[in-house]
Amino acid sequence: MKIISTTLLLLLTFATAFAQSEKQVKWTFEAKKISADTYEVQMVASVGGNYHIYSQNAGDGPLPTKFDFTKNPLVTLNGKVKENGAMVKKFEEAFKSDVRYFEKTVTFVQLVKVKGKAKTNVSGKVEFMVCNDRECLPPSTVNFKVAVGG
What's residue 7's pLDDT?
A: 35
83-123 residue pLDDT tens: 999 999 999 988 999 999 999 999 999 999 999 888 999 99
Task: Judge residue 95's burial from the number of C-beta atoms within 10 Å of its C-beta, 0-12 exposed, 13-18 middle, 19 or more buried.
Answer: middle
Q: How confident is the model at residue 23 (pLDDT cuts 50, 70, 90)?
A: confident
| Mean local confidence (pLDDT), 67-73 | 97
CA–CA distance from 5 to each of 11, 12, 18 (Å)?
Answer: 10, 11, 20
User: Which of 150, 134, 145, 149 lies closest to 27 in space, CA to CA?
Assistant: 145
Domain ranges of the chain: 2-149
Rounded Cα distance, 140 and 44, in Å = 15
Does the model's pTM come out above 0.75?
Answer: yes
| Mean local confidence (pLDDT), 39-66 | 97
What's residue 47's pLDDT?
A: 97
Contacts of 1 (CB under 8 A, 6+ apart): none
**The CA-based dihedral angle spanning residues 29, 39, 148, 42, taken in that order and rounded to the nearest 10 degrees:** 0
| Mean local confidence (pLDDT), 8-31 | 63
**Residue 13 pLDDT > 90, yes or no?**
no
**Residue 46 pLDDT > 80, yes or no?**
yes
Architecture of domain 2-149: Sandwich (2.60)
**What sign does the dihedral 144-123-126-101 (CA atoms) show?**
negative
